[in-house]
């Protein structure tokens, strides 16, 4: 049975008055509609994420959401990685999301989340030609997992870079993962510091990366 947004709270304590004011200003820049796709579990974090998204959607007519249970749309289960819930994808309506957040984007990660909204909403400047050329050199499917902590500035910048690459190159999907929520993932990748970036579950590198550094690494993977 589909999950109805109205069955979840429509206010989130994570959105302070100051943050709401900042988001309202940013959302005025949107020129295209943006849809949040959330795959939710039956747990507190999913409830918090649903309330967070409901609250955001109320801020602008350009925003909409759909809430899904595991198995409801198998294509999205795979694309958004149902093993790490809650999962929230940001895209334009009708698109399969390639910018995905696992966990609530609090702390510094709200910057990457806002950047993803602006990117999907056609409210960001075009990248320069050399950067677009570098992104175009990625010619095979890539799943980028950026494991973060919410208080890490370098993490947020790296997530923003990875997700912009994913938006510009349809072969790439970029996931922000709040490592604190998924201890099994921490164990699997032996995460000792963040950000840690994992590509196609097989190659990893640590530390912040500029857009140029990241595209160079990805082209070599």
pLDDT of residue 6: 76
* CB neighbour class for 184 (10 Å; exposed up to 12, middle 13-18, buried from 19): exposed
Helix (H, G, I), strand (E, B) or coil at 155: helix
Full pLDDT tens readout for the chain, 221 residues? 557 777 888 999 989 999 999 999 999 999 999 999 999 998 999 999 999 999 999 999 999 999 999 999 999 999 999 999 999 999 999 999 999 999 988 888 899 999 999 999 999 999 999 999 999 999 999 999 999 987 777 888 999 999 999 999 999 999 999 988 998 888 888 888 889 999 999 888 888 999 999 999 898 88
pLDDT of residue 98: 98
What distance separates the 2 farthest-apart alpha carbons in the chain? 47
Q: How many CA atoms lie within 13 A of 130 on its CB side?
A: 4
Please give the order of strands across the beta sheet that includes 87-91.
63-69, 34-40, 87-91, 99-102, 172-178, 142-148, 196-199, 203-206
Domain boundaries, the chain: 30-220
DSSP string for residues in 88-143: EEEESTTSPPSEEEES---TTHHHHHHHHHHHHTT-SPPPPHHHHHHHHT--S-EE
DSSP 8-state assignment for residue 36:
E
Give pTM, 2 decimals.
0.94
Helices within 129-210 (DSSP H only): 129-136, 153-168, 183-189
The CA-atom distances, in angstroms, between 74 and each of 36, 63, 79, 93 are 17, 24, 9, 18
The architecture of the domain spanning 30-220 is 3-Layer(aba) Sandwich (3.40)
Q: How far apart are CA 176 and CA 97, in angstroms?
A: 13
- Asked whether the bond before 86 is cis by omega within 30 degrees of 0, the reply is yes
């Amino acid at each position: 049975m589909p999950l109805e947004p109205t069955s979840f709270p429509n206010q989130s304590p994570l959105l302070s008055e100051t943050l709401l004011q900042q988001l309202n200003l940013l959302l005025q820049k949107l020129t295209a509609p943006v849809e949040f796709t959330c795959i939710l579990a039956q747990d507190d974090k999913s409830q918090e994420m649903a309330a967070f998204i409901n609250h955001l959607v109320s801020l602008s007519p350009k925003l909409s959401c759909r809430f899904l249970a595991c198995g409801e749309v198998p294509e999205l289960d795979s694309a958004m990685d149902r093993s790490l819930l809650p999962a929230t994808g940001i895209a334009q309506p009708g698109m399969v999301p390639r910018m995905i957040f696992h966990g609530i984007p609090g702390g510094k990660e709200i910057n990457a989340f806002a950047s993803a909204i602006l990117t999907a909403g056609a409210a960001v400047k075009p990248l320069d030609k050399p950067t677009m050329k570098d992104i175009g050199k990625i010619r095979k499917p890539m799943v980028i997992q950026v494991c973060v902590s919410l208080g890490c500035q370098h993490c947020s910048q790296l997530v923003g870079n990875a997700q912009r690459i994913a938006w510009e190159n349809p072969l790439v999907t970029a996931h922000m993962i709040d490592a604190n929520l998924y201890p099994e993932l921490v164990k699997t990748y032996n995460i000792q510091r963040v950000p840690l970036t994992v590509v196609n579950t097989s190659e990893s590198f640590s530390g912040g990366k500029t857009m140029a550094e990241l595209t160079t690494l990805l082209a070599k993977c």
